[in-house]
Each structure stands twice: as C-alpha cells, then as structure tokens.
Amino acid sequence: MNHQNTPNMILWFFLAVFTLSCIMMGWLLWPFVSVIILAIVVTAVFMPVYKLLNRRFNPTLASLLTCILIFFVLFLPISFLVGILANEAWELYVTARGALQSKPIMELLERSDIFDKINQFLARFKIEITGEQLNRAIAEVGRVVALFLYEQARSITTNVLKFIVNFFFMLLIIFYLLIDSPRLISFIFKMSPLPEDQDQILIQKFKDIAAAILLGNGLGGLIQGTLGGIVFALFGLKSPFVWGVIMALLAFLPILGIGAVFIPAAIFLFLQGRIAAGIFFLVFYIILSGGIEYLFKPKLVGQRVRMHTLIVFLSIIGGLKLFGILGIIYGPLVVTAFLTLAEIYLASYQQLIEPSQ
C-alpha cells in the first residue's frame, strides 16, 4: 500500500460520505423548506424584540414572549382575512368573467366622449383602440388576478389543519432560532470554507433583505393596501378588500406599485362622469405612493439594501411565478444570495481564476 496516498484517500472518502449525508439531510428537510425559510426571515425581523425582552427575562421566556407576539401579529390577522379574501376574490372573478359577455366597460365607453378623444389623439400615430379590445383586456386582467388570489386563499381555507400545523411548526423553529441563533451562526462560520469576513457579509445581507422585505415593503404594502381599500369602499367601488390586497402586493413592485390599480380606477371614474372622484384618486395615489416610497421606507430601512429597481421587479415577478404568493419573499432572497456571492467573487476570487497579464 502506498502510505503517502492514504491521507488523500481518507479525505476523499470522507468528503464523499459527507456530501451524501448533506444530500440526504436536504432531502429529509425539503418538505419543510418553505416553513424553515419563513421562520428564518421572521426571526431576523423580530430579533430586536427578542433582544429587548432578553434584557429583562431569561432567553427561554424572552423567546416565548416573542413567539406569542408573532402569533398575535401574524396568525390571527391572516386567519381572519383569508376567508374574506377568498369570498371577495371569487365574486370579483365571477364579475370579470361575466364582463367578457355583458361588455359593461364597452357600453360605458360608448356613452363617454373621452374614448373618442383618446382615439383621435392616437390616430396621429396610426393607432386605434376599439371598445371591444379594451373591454376584453380589462376583464381578462381582472379575471386572472382574481383567480390567482382566490386559489391562494382557497389553498389555505381548504387546508386549515395544514396551515395551523405549519404556522405552529414555524413558531417552534423561531423559538429555538431566537435562543440559539448565535451558536447556529458560529457553527455555520466554522463549517464554511469561506473566510469569516465573507460569511459575515452573507449573513448581514440576508438580515438586511429580510428587514427590507417584511419591515419596509411589508408595512409599506399594508399601509397602502389598507388605505387604498378604504378609499375604494368610500367611493362605492366593488370588492374593496380584494383590491386592497392586490394593492398591498403591488406595493412590493418598484415600477408598477399601486398605480396599476389606482390609475385605471381613476380612468373608470372619469368615464362614469365622476370627474372630482377621478381627480381625488390620482392625487391620493401620488401622495400615498410618494410618501411611502420616499419618506416611510428610507426612514425605516435606510440604505442597507441596494438593489437595482429592475432586478427587484424581476425577482418578485419570477418568485410569484415559481413559488406563488411566497415568491414575494423568496425571489429577492435568491437574487440577494446571487448578487452577494458575485460581489465576493469579484473582490476576492476573480484574480485567482483569470490568468495574470
């Protein structure tokens, strides 16, 4: 036997066995990956609350009190609102589907001279929009969006037991993460082959993106969706709760935002002859959206997360397509991991790979 090769053989054998164990561990935890990711994100957001409580109480009691707070902040509102969302989303879907046959939008346009003026303007560019086309487009968008929200809400309402079990499973994970996160992070640092400063960058980036998603975008979306839904209800528009939820989700998108709902709603009011209401909608949208984007979010999360607007937009749209409603969280996390690793590569490893000139 060649004794000089024995250490290398042992190392490669160990790495093979260790890789296999990692694959098996990932396979074992894969059914719970969504719950684990959510638990990590929520833990990062509520960690300041835990640290504040830990000054007065022991770690176990502080973690328990934090989990109770999470229960009241997340579980109760979600449980109460999902049922309402499912009902209103289905009503909106039925209304939008019926609009494809009854064509109420087309009839409204025919009674208004605004549509003729728009076509006169577009005629300069050799473009013409028919009432049939616009009616079908608006009704189809409403149908698709309402069906998506209904399916997301129904998946919870039809699997109530699964939702409850997953939520309390998430709380259990959060309970131990709050207590043991320093030891867990230390373990990750020891296992990682990267230098400690690069591990620190990765961990900090994920903390920052969690804060930006749930604190910045989450609270910003909640405020815009709530106020937008109230305005819709005050002006007698149908399904204000559903439109409020849609606006809360759209608030995550940096390009469209709640303007994707408010601007068409204002146009609809103009077509109805409610000019003052339409102007109010436009002014309210500008004040609400501008206040959240340029005053509220910068004050809350600062400049910790710097990501190009288009990348944020694509990450959320791609996340929604792949993971459903939770893609709002998963999409930016995936992009954050990629961009952070790309920065580390450019700073530390590119010169090791490229030949020196």
115/37: higher pLDDT? 37
- Residue 15 identity (one-letter amino acid): L
Average of per-residue pLDDT across 54-80: 88
| CA–CA separation, 277 and 279 (whole Å) | 5
5/230: higher pLDDT? 230
> What letter does residue 303 receive in the DSSP assignment?
T
Task: With beta carbons less than 8 A apart as the criterion, state whether 90 and 149 touch.
Answer: no
- What was the pLDDT predicted at 262? 85
| CA–CA separation, 347 and 352 (whole Å) | 11
The CA-based angle 85-135-150, given to 5 degrees, is 15
Q: % helix / strand / coil in the chain, to the nearest 5?
A: 85, 0, 15
Average of per-residue pLDDT across 310-332: 80
Annotate 126-153 with DSSP letters as a single string.
T----HHHHHHHHHHHHHHHHHHHHHHH
**Helix pair angle (131-157, 76-102), 10° resolution:** 150
Tokens of 326: 């939770």
| CA–CA separation, 230 and 226 (whole Å) | 6
Average of per-residue pLDDT across 234-259: 80
174/292: higher pLDDT? 174
| CA–CA separation, 244 and 223 (whole Å) | 10
Residue boundaries of the structural domains of the chain: 33-180, 192-349
| CA–CA separation, 252 and 265 (whole Å) | 19
In the structure, what pLDDT confidence band is assigned to residue 38 with cuts at 50, 70 and 90?
A: confident
Q: Quickly count: other Cβ atoms within 10 Å of residue 200's Cβ.
A: 13
107/310: higher pLDDT? 310
- What was the pLDDT predicted at 207? 72
In the structure, what pLDDT confidence band is assigned to residue 29 with cuts at 50, 70 and 90?
A: confident
Residue 115 has pLDDT above 70, yes or no: no
- What was the pLDDT predicted at 322? 81
Give the SS3 label for residue 305.
coil
- What was the pLDDT predicted at 273? 74
| CA–CA separation, 240 and 237 (whole Å) | 7
pLDDT tens per residue across span 171-203: 999 999 999 988 888 888 888 777 777 778 777
Q: Quickly count: other Cβ atoms within 10 Å of residue 296's Cβ.
A: 16
Tokens of 221: 């979306």
CA dihedral (237, 238, 244, 246) in degrees, to 10, reads -120
Tokens of 238: 């149908």
Tokens of 281: 């909608």
Residue 5: CA count within 13 A, CB half-sphere: 4
Residue 239 has pLDDT above 90, yes or no: no
Residue 1 has pLDDT above 60, yes or no: no
Tokens of 205: 């980036």
In the structure, what pLDDT confidence band is assigned to residue 52 with cuts at 50, 70 and 90?
A: very high
Which range is least confidently modeled, 39-43, 108-112, 118-122? 108-112
Tokens of 96: 């939008």
Average per-residue pLDDT for the chain: 76
13/349: higher pLDDT? 13
- What was the pLDDT predicted at 179? 92
Annotate 73-126 with DSSP letters as a single string.
IIIHHHHHHHHHHHHHHHHHHHHHHHHHHH-HHHHHHHT-SHHHHHHHHHGGGT
Average of per-residue pLDDT across 101-129: 59
**Helix pair angle (114-122, 259-271), 10° resolution:** 120
| CA–CA separation, 223 and 226 (whole Å) | 5
Which range is least confidently modeled, 186-195, 225-234, 275-284? 186-195
For 92-102, b/e burial (b = at least 16 CB within 10 A) is bbebbeebeee
Helices (H) and strands (E) in the chain, counts: 17, 0
Find how far residue 220's CA is from the centre of its chain.
12
| CA–CA separation, 180 and 174 (whole Å) | 10
Residue 334: CA count within 13 A, CB half-sphere: 16
Average of per-residue pLDDT across 238-250: 79
- The reported pTM is 0.67
- What was the pLDDT predicted at 199? 79
